[in-house]
Chains A and B, each alone.
Chain A
Amino acid sequence: MSRISYSRDEEVVQRMRPEPMTETEKNAQDQIDDVEFEIFKHKMHMIGLEGKETTMKLGASTAMRFGDVAFGIFTAQGDLSVCATGIYHHAVLGQIPLKYIVKHWVDEPSVGVSDGDSFFYNDPYYAGVHNADMGLAVPVFHEGRLICFIGAAVHTGECGGSEPGGTVTAAKSKYDEGMLIPPIKIGENYQLKEDLLNMFAAMNRDPRTMILDIKARLAATRIAQRRVLDVVEEKGADFVIGGLRKILSMTGEAARKKISQLNDGIYRQPRFLDTLGEDNGLLKIDVTVIKKGDKITLNLENSSPMLMDRPANSYYQGVVGLAMVYFCGWLFHDIPTNNGLLEAIDWKFPDGSFINAKGDVATSIAPLVQITFTHGMFQCGARMTYSTMPDRSVASWFSGFSIPTFGGLNQFGDPVADITPEINATGCGARVDMDGVDAAGAFFATMADCSDVETTESDRPLLYGFRNFFSGSYGHGKQRGGAGLGFSLIIHDTPFFMMGSHGGGSKFPTTQGLFGGYGLPSLFVRKVSGSNIKALMGNSDVSLPNRLSNVYDGSNPEEGKVSFANISSVVSPVRDGDTYSSYAGGGAGLGDALERDPISIMKDLINGLVSPWAVRNIYCVVYDEDSMRLDRIATEAARLEKRKARIASGIPYDKFVAEWEKQRPPAEILTYYGNYPNPGTKALEA
């Protein structure tokens, strides 16, 4: 009898850690020689890399072709043992759909799991951080025995929701979000089912990209399947089963060992999100990281309640996934990436909170909720590592998103619906001993690529007005964050197009500084409809903006109906010649800006990375505006004055607290917040 109840499976999503070791796995693991294991581990990694490269080669969506890909080899129980990715949330999220398949379909006569099958999934309840993360997995059988699974997960930008581009900013429930497919068999006997592909295509604004991405995942998994079977032939099925399990076991042990090298402590970072989707509102994630012995516990109690009619919710597993972005890239960079890492991590999610969504609520801006958490994880992690591993102690990369979303017809009349790739060129956070890197990537997809402008313009009906570093986009500090990108898009050569934006931080900056460093300015979208930009370009007007700061410094000759929108904006129709300007933020600063080397500040000033105002008022640097020569003595004096002023402005701590606690945000933005200041949500006792 089928165990499926036609509702979401709350049990399987709790199984994020490795499944209990089977007797077969244990016996097989114990018999593997150390050197042969290292060779096996390397071989599996090679297979993973080949799969990832192949997926990227064959895929078509913007995120896929620029590296938003994860490729994995899973145990027969569904645990992810080997993962090739730069998107580390997949290291722990990719396995849930496989566990679902094992639980529901292996013994289900109407479905079954057989050699030659392929399964598709994109319901974020199981599959990833949002429904744009789509996956495909195939079982690997040897002589009728299930050995493992191979899977590929990729962000395909269009999901057929009520808004194009994979993000439904105005979603009221999950039924606005388009495709939400729990693991489903889409191929048998090594053939995809054309009727199902046809159905997916019919549910999607960009069917061609959808199908190409599915085929890319499948081709890559099939190649990896052959490779794994070669190893099975050579080493035996038990060796492979034991080897995959041993990778998981060793990963968990290594993670615990690394954590034990850190000082015990409790680290807190309340985090705030300023958008509910299409409207403003304040939400809180109360991040507490408890490090004790060889374990880290994430306690997120006291976070805001679940939003019943807005999309700013996340499933708990998505938040755990984003925690692994920090752990895999920054703390566990020398440990394999798989869900064995979770042997070292515990978590407490409050029931009924917006970071532990249930039921039919919308979650289509869940990635924003999750990175709001991750920023807190970075802040806590930097404090946790500072004294024992200072080279791990970094300020946050840009943590707000800022992604133009679009849909419509391109210049060739083909339907397109996707995002532009500037999110892959945000600034890296400052380090204890060096600045952040300008336009380094995205912290959650560090090997991704922001593409060439020409590549984007070649099949999107867009003309970039400019794409340069944005002055002031980084956080100031003794070490500054890396600069982000300012860009403008001009609608070009299309009969029908819509644009919106995904992100947060237009009201409450998403990325704060570290150890006295500055955070980032707020985000915005500037739109001009009925713009005269094309006429100005036709005359090659030299006063047209070269960078975002020129757009509003008074020199911009562009005219039209100007509007400023929240970075979280629902798509709306645009016409040829309309313009859209925004920026992908920089990294946070670290340490006191008054300690920054004035020469470095002047260099940034000359290169247009920092404003004269910030040089004078934040860094207290004095220079001659004509010759741009630094006045060291006057700078020292100005900094001394600033320090004195700081001391003079100081008040006793108790007095500060008393005054601070009187302050309160406007009531209209607290509608969804819960009790202020502490929402009061609690985790259920285990």
Chain B
Amino acid sequence: MTNTDVNYTVGIDVGGTFTDFFCSHNDGQSQTCKTPTTHYDLSVGFMKGMSLLARQNGQNLKDFMTRIASVRYSTTVGTNALIERSGPKLGLITTAGFEDTIFIGRGRSWADGLGWQEGRDQARIQKPEPLISPDMVVGIRQRMDYSGKIIGPLKKEDVLTKVQELVDKGAQGFVVSLLWSFINPAHERMIKEIIEEEYPEDYLGAMPVILSSDISPKSGEYTRTMTTIVNGYIHGVMADELNKLGNELRDSGFKKPLTLVHNTGGTKKASRTRAVLTHNAGPVAGLHGSAVLGKLTGDENIVFTDMGGTSFDIGLIEGGEIKAHDFLPVIDRWRTNIPAIEVKSIGAGGGSIAWLNELMGNALEIGPQSAGSMPGPVCYDQGGTEPTVSDADLVLGLYNAENYLGGEMLLDEELAREAIEKRIAIPLGISIEEAAYRIRRLVDAHMGQEVFNEVALKGHDPRSFVVLACGGAGGAHACGFGTFIGAKKVIAPFQSSVFGAYGASTMPIKEVWDKSYSLKLFQWADQSYLSDLEGFNNLVAELKNLATRDLRLEGYRDDQMHFKLELNMRYGSQYNMTKVRTSRLEMRDAQDIKEICDEFTRLYGETYSPEATFPAGGINVDNFSLTASVASNLKILTALDLVGAEPDHAALRKSRPIYWSPEKGYEDTPIYDYYQLHPGNKIIGPAILESPETTYVVEPGWTFTMDAYRNCIMEQN
């Protein structure tokens, strides 16, 4: 392959501090880089990163950009607009009599987006400031019932009056969400037609009209409405920003459409993306990268973890696939119903503060307060005074104060010791080192046990999972929290510091089409299977038609498309659903229905125990979810040759004493330069491996091996 034959796929992941880039070549090579995130205009950091990649490839920006086959961008523009409340002034049109639905928020919306600890204090609860103010909500007199039957018709004059009211108050766009519109969208569509007739596109007053039945045709008016509002709120901001970026890319030589990473686990052209699907796409990209990496390492069950300074995110790969979808994902503080993949933040990181709970007999606690990135841990010497997990790691000797992040950041160990001594060691009457040890052990236990809980809630045995550790503090804590998960193997990927970008570069074109529709597959009343299959088959055909049309517009042929049908099923009047996959897109007879019901009961019993199954209570399907994808031509990373187990002498740095336990105190521990290690090298812990991006801690009882992709594999002896 000549140099001119090489083309690139670039994955980009915007983070709070840095924007990460991963460039994979079609010949199996790759580059990475990071640029500071430019919050004032994300495109500045974006283009700077492209320039860095071009330089690493020895090319000018234009040449480099013309050779890029695909740019897969995981952006936070939409999320930022929500947090900063910089979206447009929207008007909400809903069913008369239900104008307060979004403010009622099913009652407990004050707790949405809060952790269980924050939700305990009932005396101080507050609901978040709404995205649409009450005076911008109007009710239209119309009504449908549970079956979609029209109980009250829509009247044009009522719509015109209410729309004018919103226009007079300065509406810059309309969200339309009526009761039962996911079953019968006729009235929502009529409202859109009326508005567009009144304010046609060629008028300056034309405004976007977003229908809940288009954005999220699913049951539950609160979540459906909030999904549509969030989408409408960030839609314009994202469109403006991405148009600007698209122009810059075109000017730089990249002529193809920009592709956005979706939280549903795929990518789509920016121009064919629903804004709400870009929220939290970065962690989902990382999770997808885990699945790809797992195929290389031969691991099918993986817990993806990302431990940064302020957060600890986790996601699951089950049987080599991403299966866990968030039931009602919270975006900012809003419960929605998008089919997003579940990546959960369980709120601990290197910046979590250690403190003594006097009320509970001076019990040591970690978090939930965090020093964040500013002031950050005490050892950053940026004004922090409360001891954090990172301070404890430094005191124990795990971090090299002089060579942290390749010497990019100097750490002040003395400050960390003083803070731990004052806040923890003296009150408990123990040494500074023992206090640091307790902090580390406790945070590892909390993280590990919370991960265990999350995996267990999906019906799996967490001990059969491999831990994939990303994030700045992941490599330093993976053995620690991995122990509490019961994991025997930890992978800290070579691309760990830009793993979201790596994951983005691996993602296929994919979209999920889902719709709520209730069918009693097995009837409780007469204990019979559904025989009228028309409703089932028509709905699946409708979803397939939508998906096919969409992918054709993306430029794909029918023979490139793949479809996967998942059904949300439940017994009787249960509220929560169990997802069942079926290979059939069309039901032929009651036997096909029986097979689905049997599969549901099998899965249910496997997850919750056979005693819990209750097929006689009736089995319903309430939501249909069709995933349409196009197989990606992902270039697998090139495997390097394995050398011997013994590391080169050049890899050894000066050893240092590390406090592994109160019983043994400080022990002189070998330190290695990760970049001087080779695939196949093996090191029995305890040991520390340092790279410019992170520190890997191989705890006593664990053994490190570098695999053929330069990943750090740590296995319990």
Give the interface of A toward B (CB within 8 A).
Answer: 34-35, 38-39, 42-43, 46-47, 49-50, 53-54, 56-61, 65-67, 86, 187, 190-192, 208-209, 211-212, 215-216, 218-219, 222-223, 227, 250, 253-254, 257-258, 329-330, 333-335, 391-392, 394, 411-414, 416, 424-425, 428, 431, 434, 437-443, 446-455, 457-459, 463-469, 485, 492-493, 534, 537-542, 544-547, 606-608
Contact = CB atoms under 8 A, between A and B. Distances in A.
B558 interface: no
A450 B221 CA distance: 12
A450 B335 CA distance: 14
Lowest 7 CB-CB distances: which A-B pairs, in order? Answer: A466-B97, A219-B612, A65-B575, A329-B122, A425-B107, A450-B107, A57-B576
A125 to B, nearest CB: 28
Contacts of B573: 60-61, 208-209, 212, 416, 459
A223 B524 contact: no
Max count, chain A CB within 10 A of own CB: residue among B96, B101, B361, B575: B575
Interface stretch (B3-11, B403-411, B437-445): B437-445
Interface in B117-152: 119-127, 134-135, 139, 141-143, 145-146, 151-152
Nearest to A246: B361
Interface stretch (B450-458, B467-475, B635-643, B676-684): B450-458
B107 A253 contact: no
Contact of B449 (A46, A57, A192, A447): A46
Contacts of A542: 96, 141, 155, 158
Interface stretch (B108-116, B189-197, B250-258, B263-271): B108-116
14 contacts: A35-B364, A59-B574, A65-B575, A192-B611, A211-B614, A212-B571, A215-B614, A253-B361, A425-B106, A439-B103, A441-B110, A452-B219, A453-B221, A454-B146
Contacts of B355: none
A489 B707 CA distance: 65
B143 A450 contact: no
B581 interface: no
A505 B579 CA distance: 45
Nearest to B133: A607
B453 A50 contact: yes
A414 B571 CA distance: 14
Given A411-B146, A485-B104, A454 B180 contact: yes
Given A449-B106, A450-B107, 11 more contacts: A42-B449, A46-B450, A58-B612, A211-B617, A250-B363, A333-B121, A411-B146, A492-B145, A539-B152, A542-B141, A544-B141
Given A414-B525, A447-B111, A451-B106, A392 B97 contact: no
Interface residues of B, number: 82
A227 B461 CA distance: 10
A441 B109 CA distance: 9
B525 A537 contact: no
A493 to B, nearest CB: 7
A253 B358 CA distance: 11
B441 A443 contact: no
Given A60-B575, A449-B106, A208 B524 contact: yes
B127 A448 contact: no
A452 B104 contact: no
Contacts of B611: 187, 190-192, 215, 218-219, 222
Given A431-B124, A437-B110, A218 B612 contact: yes
Interface of B: 96-101, 103-108, 110-111, 116, 119-127, 134-135, 139, 141-143, 145-146, 151-155, 158, 179-180, 219-223, 357, 359-361, 363-365, 438, 441-442, 445-446, 449-450, 452-453, 456-457, 484, 518, 520, 524-525, 571-576, 608-609, 611-614, 617-618
A458 B608 contact: no
B558 to A, nearest CB: 35
Contacts of A222: 609, 611
A392 B121 CA distance: 9
A92 B524 CA distance: 38
B442 A35 contact: yes
Contacts of B158: 540, 542
A392 B122 CA distance: 9
Contacts of B154: 540
A57 B107 CA distance: 19
A654 to B, nearest CB: 38
Contact of A538 (B151, B357, B360, B618): B151
A216 B123 contact: no
Nearest to B364: A38
A398 to B, nearest CB: 12
B584 to A, nearest CB: 26
A578 B363 CA distance: 59
B438 A607 contact: no
Given A250-B360, A451-B106, A452-B220, A534 B97 contact: no
Contacts of B121: 329, 333-334
A431 B123 contact: yes
B116 A446 contact: no
Given A440-B125, A446-B108, A492-B145, A546 B139 contact: yes
A258 B143 CA distance: 53
B441 to A, nearest CB: 6
B226 to A, nearest CB: 11
B223 to A, nearest CB: 7
Contact of B572 (A35, A212, A431, A546): A212
Contact of A447 (B108, B123, B364): B108
Nearest to B612: A219
Given A49-B453, A330-B122, A607-B135, A455 B220 contact: yes
B107 A65 contact: no
Given A413-B525, A453-B179, A441 B450 contact: no
B13 to A, nearest CB: 30
B608 A212 contact: no
A489 to B, nearest CB: 12
Contacts of A86: 119
A458 B119 contact: no
A455 B614 contact: no
A425 B105 CA distance: 9
B277 to A, nearest CB: 22
A123 B402 CA distance: 67
A335 B180 CA distance: 43
A334 B363 CA distance: 12
A535 to B, nearest CB: 10
A330 B524 contact: no
B104 A439 contact: yes
Contact of A441 (B108, B134, B525, B571): B108
B107 A441 contact: yes
A552 to B, nearest CB: 16
B145 A463 contact: yes
B97 A467 contact: yes
Contacts of A466: 96-98
Nearest to A539: B152
B575 A455 contact: yes
Contacts of B612: 58, 215-216, 218-219
Given A56-B576, A65-B574, A218-B612, A452 B151 contact: no
Contacts of A412: 520, 525
A425 B111 CA distance: 13
B450 A607 contact: no
A333 B96 contact: no
Contacts of B222: 452
B139 A50 contact: no
Contacts of A411: 146
Contacts of A424: 107-108
Given A215-B611, A216-B612, A468-B100, A440 B110 contact: yes
A491 B461 CA distance: 47
A257 B360 CA distance: 9
Contacts of A392: 123
A450 to B, nearest CB: 4
B108 A54 contact: no
Nearest to B520: A412
